[in-house]
Structure 1
Amino acid sequence: MHTDNGVAYTEEWVTQRAREGYERGRASFPLRAERAALLVIDMQDEFVRPGFSPYWVPAATRMAPRLRRLVDRCRAVGVPVIWTVFDDTHLGLDRPHALRHLPHGDTDWRRPGPARVWPELGPREDEVLIRKPSYGAFYDTPLDTVLRNLRRDTVIVTGTLTNYCCGTTARQAYERGYHVVFGADTTATDDESRQEPELAVLRKGFALVLDAEEIAARLTDPAG
C-alpha cells in the first residue's frame, strides 16, 4: 500500500483502475463531420488482394466491405477521405534504416510497379493519396499540412495493419494535437489475437475507439 497526501492506494485498486481504462475507457471529445477527416491506411494490393503477396492480411480482406461503406458515408456528409500506401519512395533512402534488420522488414518480395490501393476500394480522383516510407502516415509525408489546410483537427484511423501502420499513425496524430478516432472493426491485422490488445492501449491512452456504426452515427449527430 502506498499513501499519498493521506490517501491510501492499494495494488488491487490501481490494477483495477488500469483494467477499466483498457477495457471500457472512452475519450470525451465530440466527433463532428466538419472537423474530421477519414484516413484509410494501406488498404493496398499487398495486404488486401487475396493471395497477391506474402504480406496478405486476410482479416483486412474480410473487413474491406465494411470500410467501403464507412468511406461512402463519410463522403456523403462531407468528410474528406485521405488514402495512404506503404511504398518504395525516394529509392528507399527516406525509409528508416533499421527496418531492413527487423522481421517485418523482409524485402525478398517485390511488387510489379508502384503500390496501389486495392481497386475494389480505390480513391476517387479528387481524394488525396499519400505514399509513405514507414509505418506512420505522418512520418516524412505532407499529411499534417494537408489536414491543416483542410481545417481538420480530428482524424478517423482505419485500414491495416492495426498494430503497425494504423496504431503508429494514431500515436503520431495524438502527439501532434489531433483528436483521434480509431476504427475498432474497420482496422485489421495479420494475427487477429493482436487486435484487441492494440485497441486496449489506444483506448486508454490515445484515441476514441468506435466501431463503424458508432462512427457513422456520431458524424450525423449535431452533438457528435
Structure 2
Amino acid sequence: MDVQNEYFTGKLPITYPSGSLDKILQVMNIANERGIPVVIVRHTQLAENSAMFRKGSPEWELHPEIIKRPYGLLIEKSLPGSFTETELETWLKERNIDTVVISGYMTQICCDTTARQASHLGFSVEFLSDATGTLAFTNNAGIATDEELHRATLVSQNTFISKVIDTSKWINNLKNTKEVEL
C-alpha cells in the first residue's frame, strides 16, 4: 500500500522499522509464487499544487521495485482508506477473497484505516508488523517517534481488528485460502 517514491526520495522518508521495503517485496514475491492476488495501492492528493503525492510528480510514482512485480489490480485512492471510493471491495468479493494482508506505508494512517475498513466489511485481516512502516511526527497534538507510532498502531490493530504477525510467520502460516496482499 502506497509504496511510492514520496517515502524514499520525498518529504516523508520512512524510518521504522528498518528493512520494511525488503519485507514488502518479499511478501509480494511469495504471494505471486503462491497464486495469492496482489493489489497495489497508490495515494494521490487531489490538489494540483499539493506538496506531496501530487499526481504525475516523481514522488507520486510507485517505487520502481514495486511496479516491476506482477499484480492483479492497481487502486488509485485520494483518502487514507483503500476501500473509500474505489473498486477494491467489489474486486475482492468477485474473487471470493476473504482475507486481506496489509503491508506498505504509513502504518498509523493508510495501513490502519484500510485494515479497519476491511474488518468492518467482514474480511479477515492480517497486518504485517515488519512489512509496514512509518516515520516520526510532530504536530499540534504533540510529538511521537516512529517506533511509538508503529508499536501503538500494531497493539491497537491486534485488538479486535487484525491478526498482527511478522512476514516470516505469515509465510509459514500460508494456507490454500484466497488472500490478497495490499
| Structure-2-length-normalised TM-score | 0.81
- Structure 2 residue ranges without an equivalent (≥5): 136-145, 178-182
1:176 aligns with 2:121: yes
Aligned structure 1 segments of 4 or more residues deviating by more than 6 angstroms: none
The offset of 1:111, in angstroms, is 4.5
State, as a whole percentage, how many aligned pairs show the same letter. 27
User: CA separation in 2, counterparts of 1:153 and 1:42?
Assistant: 22
Decide which of 20, 34, 44 is 1:87's aligned counterpart: 44
* Conservation of the 8 A alpha-carbon contact between 2:102 and 2:115: yes
| Greater fraction helix | 1
- Structure 1 residue ranges without an equivalent (≥5): 1-40, 93-105
User: CA separation in 2, counterparts of 1:175 and 1:200?
Assistant: 18
Query: How is 1:97-108 mapped onto 2 (pairs within 5 angstroms)?
Result: 107-108=50-51
User: CA separation in 2, counterparts of 1:118 and 1:61?
Assistant: 17
The offset of 1:69, in angstroms, is 1.1
Secondary structure of the residue aligned to 2:80 is coil
1:161 aligns with 2:118: no
Q: Residue 141 of structure 1 corresponds to which residue in structure 2? A: 86
* Conservation of the 8 A alpha-carbon contact between 1:60 and 1:159: no
Decide which of 26, 35, 38 is 1:69's aligned counterpart: 26
Decide which of 119, 130, 153 is 1:185's aligned counterpart: 130
How many equivalent pairs are there? 165
| Structure-1-length-normalised TM-score | 0.67
Q: Please report the RMSD computed on the Cα atoms of aligned residues, expressed in angstroms.
A: 2.3
User: CA separation in 2, counterparts of 1:153 and 1:110?
Assistant: 30
The offset of 1:88, in angstroms, is 3.7
1:199 aligns with 2:154: yes
Are residues 166 and 109 of structure 1, via their aligned partners in 2, closer, same or farther at CA, if it must alter by over 3 Å? closer
Are residues 79 and 112 of structure 1, via their aligned partners in 2, closer, same or farther at CA, if it must alter by over 3 Å? closer
